[in-house]
Structure 1
Amino acid sequence: MDDRQLESYLRIQTSLDKLSAFLTFNRIDDQFACKPEELERFIRSKGITHGIRTDVLNGISSNVLAYCKEQTLVAFGQEAQAGKDGYIRFIYDMKDREHRPAELEDGKVDYKEVSQLKNVKRGQLIAERVEAQFGPSGMTVTGEEIPPKQGRQARFKVGKNVVLNGEQTALYAAIDGLITMTDKDKINVFPVYEVNGDVDYRVGNIDFVGTVVIRGNVLSGFRVKAAGDIRIVGGVEGAELESEASIEITGGIMAGNKGYVKAAKTLKSSFIQDGNVIAGEDVLVSQSIMHSNVRAGRAVICSGTKGLIVGGVIQSGELVSARVIGNTMSTATVIEVGVVPELRHELSDLRVSLKSHSENLDKTDKALTLLDQMAAAGQLSEEKLGLRIKLGATKRMAVSEIEQHRERILEIERMLEDTDKAKVDISHTIYGGVKIVIGRYTKFVKDSVQRVSFRYSEGEIVHFPYFA
C-alpha cells in the first residue's frame, strides 16, 4: 500500500513531550496489507524519524489483528540525562577526621606525634571547585535534540582565614595553620597552639581562636576553649573543655563529677568516669563509660575489649553501641536514643530567623523598587543613589542568609525524620536495671540478655538478635 491508502487505515500520534509515538488503526478490513518498509515510510512521512521500533513494524505487518484494537508504541525518544554534580576537591582527605596517632615500625603507637594534622602555609591552595558536568542530550521521536541537563554546582562554605580567587573556583589559606572543618562544614585555617606539659597554674586557662594541642594533663578547675580541635595527649580531670570542632583525649576523663567536655563535632577518649560530656556528632570511647552523663547528636560508641557502659545517663540521636551495658549489681543506667533536643531548639530558632530575614528582604525589595522608579524618572539624588547601592548589598546578604537557613532547616528535618532508625546495640551482655528510652517509649530491662539490639517497633521497644 502507498501512503495515501495507509492514511485511511492508520493514525500516528505523539506524546506531549515528543518522547513517544503511537500507531492507532482507524478501521480494519480484509483489504489491508502492508510491508514493514511501507509502514516505516508512512511513519516517517508524519515526521517520526528517531527511535522507530522496526521489530514492532514487523509484528504489525505479519499479524495485523494482534495490534488493531489498541495504541501501539512504534517509536520512542531519549530523555536528557542529568550530569554529574560538582564537588569540592581538597588537598587533604577531609573525611579522615579521626587524627589517628602515628604507628611506629615496631607496631607501637606514638600519641605525641601530631604531624598528621592538616597543616598549610599562607597562600597555599586548600581546595578547588570541580565544575558540575552536563549529561548526555536527549532526542525526540521527531529528531529534535533535547538540551542536556547540568548537575548541581558545588559551592565553598567559607570560614575563617581563607580566601577565594576571583573566579570563585579555588580556596587558599590566608595564614599558616591547620585546615579545620567546623560546624556546618565551614572551611577554616586555624593556627595551632601547643602546650608542652600540663594545663596548670603555670599555663592558666586557654581561650584560643584555633586548634589546641596539649602534651600533658588538664587539671581540675582549669578551662580550655578552642575554635578548632582540642587534642590532649594526657588525661582530663574536673576541667572545662569546649571546642567548636572535635576533641581527642588519649588518657581519658576522670572528672569527679566536676566540669564538662563539649565538642561541636566528635569526641574521642579512652574512657569517661564521673564526667559530663556533650558532642554534636559522635562520642567514641575505647574502654568504658562509668557513672557519667553523655550526650551525642548522632552516636555513642563504646568499643574495645572492655566496651562497658554502667551508671549515669547516655543520650544519643541515633545509636548507642557497647559490648556490655549495666552490671550484675543492677546499677541504675539510662540509655536514651532517638531524641536530639539541641536540633529541635536550633530548628525552632532557624525558623524564627528565616521569617525575620524574609520580612526584611521584602521591605528591602519594596524600597529598591521605589528607588528604581525614581532612577527611571531621573529623580535620583546622590544621597538616594548611595542608599540604593547599600540596599542592593543588603539584599544580596539577606538572600545568602536565607539560602543557608533553608539548607540547614532541610538538613535538620532529614535528621529528625530518621529517629525511627534509632537503636541500642549490645554485642555481649545487657544486665537488669538498665532503662532503655527510644523517642517517647520506655523499657526496663529486668533480666540479663546477650547479643541484642533494641529498637522501636509498632508502639513498643523490642529487641532483636544483634549482628555485627
Structure 2
Amino acid sequence: MAEHVDLDLNQFLSIALSEDKSSAYLKLIKEDEEGLTCSFEQLQSFLAANGITHGIQLDVLHRFLANPTDPMFRHTAIAEGTAPVKGEDGFVRYAIPLNQEQHGPNENEDGSVDYKDVIRLNNLHRGQLIAELVPPAPGKTGVAVTGEEIPFKPGKEARFKVGKNVVLNPEQTALYAAIDGLVTRTDKGKINVFPIYEVNGDVDYNTGNINFVGTVIVRGNVLTGFKVTAAGDIRVIGGVEGAELEAGGSIEITGGIIGYNKGHIKAGHNVKSGFIQDGNVYAGEDVLVTQSIMHSNIRAGRDVICSGTKGLIVGGNIQAGEKVMARIVGNPMSTTTTIEVGVLPELRNELVELRNQFKENLAAMDKTDKALTLLDQLAAAGKLNTEKMQMRAKLGLTRKQHLREQAEIKERMLEIEKSLEDTSRAKVHVLKMIYGGSKIVIGRYTKFIKDPISRMTFYYSEGDISMSVYI
C-alpha cells in the first residue's frame, strides 16, 4: 500500500495498554498485513491520536517501521511509563540509646570485668525526651503512557508502644520521661521508665526476697531459695544459684547460673549469662550465653545463641521460636541433647488471651456507644446539662481509646498468626560439631543424630528436616 498524506492507520493498527497503563503495545489488526508503509511522523500522530503521549520508545518505532510484521512487536512495548516510587515508612527516632549492652559492666580484653562501670545506664530525668516520631517521607508519582498520573503507595505511619512512666506530647509525636529513672524496653517493645533499686552485696537472708516495680541491680550473688522480681530489668554482678529471677524486661548475669535444677530465670525480653548449668531459663526473645549451656532446660521466644570461644550445648532440652546457634552440640559420650526450633507455645497462649481481650473490648464499646446515642438524643432535644456534657466528652474519649486498643490487638493477632504459620526462619546452626545422641526437632519433624557431623545448618524443607553446610 502506497504512503499518502491522509493514511488512516486505524484500519491497520491498534494500541493495547497494560492494566495500569504503564506500558503500550502496537498490534497489527491483521497478522499477515504486508506492504504497510507509513512515515515516522504518521506513526507518531497515530500514537498521539490514541492518547499515547509519554515514554514513547523511538528506537522501537523505527524498528517497527522497518518490519511491521515481526512477531516481536506482540511483546515489545512501544511506550513505557514512569513507575511511581513508594513512600518511605515513618520510624521512631530515639534520643537516647536503647541497646541493652549499654547497661552492663565493661568487659576488658583479658576477660576481666570492670564492676565500677556497671552504672553506665540509660538514666533519664523527668521531662527528658526519649523518642520522636519521624513521619513517612512522600513517594513520587508515576506517569502512565497516556500522561495520566500513577499514584504512589504512601509509607506507613510509625507508632509508639507506650509503657509505664512515659508521656506523649499533645500532638502524639514525641515521648518523654514522666519520672527520673532508667529507660527499659519490655516484651512487645513497650518503652518504660523505671526507677532503680540496688543491692550492695548478695541476695541472702540479710536482704530477703526482692519485689520491685523498677529495675534491680544486685552487686553480688543471688543464693539458692531466694527470689528477685522486677517490672524492669535485673542485673546481677555475680552468679545465680537455684534462685527465682523474674523480670518484665531483660536479665543479665555477669557470672553464670548454677541452678542445681531448682528455681528458674524468666525474662520478658532477653536473658544474658556467662554460662548456664542445671538451670531453667525462659526468655520472651533471646537467650545469649558466652560459654556453655549444660544439662539445662532453655526456652526462648526467638533465638538461643551460644557461640563464644567454647560455645557448648550438652544435655537438657533447648527450645527456640526461631533459631539455635552453637559451636558444639552434645559430646563424644552421646549425652542426650535435644534442640527444638519453631516452638512458640507462649504465642499460642497469647493469641487466646488477645481474642478474649478483643471480645471484652467490643462489649465495652457497645455499652459506650449506647450511652453516647442516648446523650446525643438529649443534646438534639436541648436537654443536656453541664454534667451530662462532661460525661458525653469523657465517653467520646473512651470510645477513641477502645478503637485504638482494638487496632493494636488486631495487629498483634495478625503478627502471631503469621509467625505460627511460618517455619522458614526455624534453623539450627552448628558452627563446629554435633555429636551422636543429639536430637533436632523442627515443628512436627524430628531428626536423630547417630554419628558426628561438622559445620551444618538444619532447617525444614518440603515435609522433612534438611541439612546444608554452615558457611
TM-score of the superposed pair, with normalisation by structure 2: 0.88
Matches within 5 A, 1:194-213: 194-213=198-217
**Pair 1:114-2:107 in alignment:** no
* Match 1:396 to one of 395, 400, 414: 400
Alignment partner, residue 351 of structure 1? 355
Alignment partner, residue 259 of structure 1? 263
Moved more, 146-155 or 184-193: 146-155
Superposed CA deviations along residues 285-306 of structure 1, whole A, max 9, x for unmatched, are: 1222222221111222223333
**Pair 1:291-2:291 in alignment:** no
Alignment partner, residue 184 of structure 1? 188
C-alpha distance in 1, partners of 2:158/2:72?
Answer: 52
Q: Secondary structure at the match of 2:138?
A: coil
C-alpha distance in 2, partners of 1:70/1:328?
Answer: 66
Matches within 5 A, 1:37-116: 37-66=41-70, 73-95=77-99, 97=101, 99-103=103-107, 108-116=112-120
C-alpha distance in 2, partners of 1:400/1:204?
Answer: 42
Shift in CA distance, 123/308, structure 1 to aligned 2, threshold 3 Å: same
CA contact under 8 A between 2:312 and 2:326: conserved in structure 1?
Answer: yes
Q: Secondary structure at the match of 2:69?
A: helix
Shift in CA distance, 102/95, structure 1 to aligned 2, threshold 3 Å: closer
Q: Which runs of 5+ in 2 are unaligned?
A: none
C-alpha distance in 2, partners of 1:431/1:16?
Answer: 57
C-alpha distance in 1, partners of 2:94/2:204?
Answer: 37
Alignment partner, residue 234 of structure 1? 238
Q: Which runs of 5+ in 1 are unaligned?
A: none
Residue correspondences, number: 466
CA contact under 8 A between 1:431 and 1:448: conserved in structure 2?
Answer: yes
**Pair 1:270-2:304 in alignment:** no
Task: Return the offset for 1:137.
Answer: 1.2
C-alpha distance in 2, partners of 1:206/1:257?
Answer: 21
C-alpha distance in 2, partners of 1:64/1:191?
Answer: 79
Shift in CA distance, 221/22, structure 1 to aligned 2, threshold 3 Å: same
Alignment partner, residue 408 of structure 1? 412
Q: Secondary structure at the match of 1:42?
A: helix
Superposed CA deviations along residues 213-256 of structure 1, whole A, max 9, x for unmatched, are: 11111122221111111111111112110011111101111122
Task: Return the offset for 1:283.
Answer: 1.1
Over the aligned positions, Cα root-mean-square deviation in angstroms equals: 3.1
Superposed CA deviations along residues 94-147 of structure 1, whole A, max 9, x for unmatched, are: 355574532559885414412442222222111111110111112233323344
Moved more, 74-83 or 278-287: 74-83
Q: Secondary structure at the match of 2:131?
A: strand
C-alpha distance in 2, partners of 1:54/1:451?
Answer: 56
Shift in CA distance, 48/203, structure 1 to aligned 2, threshold 3 Å: same
For 2:131, the aligned partner's letter is A
Alignment partner, residue 19 of structure 1? 22
Shift in CA distance, 252/140, structure 1 to aligned 2, threshold 3 Å: same
* Match 2:437 to one of 430, 433, 437: 433
Identity among equivalent pairs (%): 59
Alignment partner, residue 168 of structure 2? 164
Task: Return the offset for 1:445.
Answer: 3.3
Shift in CA distance, 309/65, structure 1 to aligned 2, threshold 3 Å: closer
CA contact under 8 A between 2:103 and 2:119: conserved in structure 1?
Answer: no
C-alpha distance in 2, partners of 1:302/1:95?
Answer: 20
Superposed CA deviations along residues 354-387 of structure 1, whole A, max 9, x for unmatched, are: 24434554565566556656655x3664476556
**Pair 1:224-2:211 in alignment:** no
Shift in CA distance, 196/12, structure 1 to aligned 2, threshold 3 Å: same
For 1:227, the aligned partner's letter is A
Task: Return the offset for 1:185.
Answer: 0.7
Superposed CA deviations along residues 369-406 of structure 1, whole A, max 9, x for unmatched, are: 56656655x36644765564444333212211111112
TM-score of the superposed pair, with normalisation by structure 1: 0.88
Superposed CA deviations along residues 66-113 of structure 1, whole A, max 9, x for unmatched, are: 379958743332243211111011123435557453255988541441
For 1:242, the aligned partner's letter is E
Alignment partner, residue 129 of structure 2? 125
Moved more, 334-343 or 318-327: 318-327
Superposed CA deviations along residues 7-54 of structure 1, whole A, max 9, x for unmatched, are: 444444655644344444456977753211222123223433222222
C-alpha distance in 1, partners of 2:182/2:129?
Answer: 13
Q: Secondary structure at the match of 1:47?
A: coil
Q: Secondary structure at the match of 2:314?
A: strand
Alignment partner, residue 342 of structure 2? 338
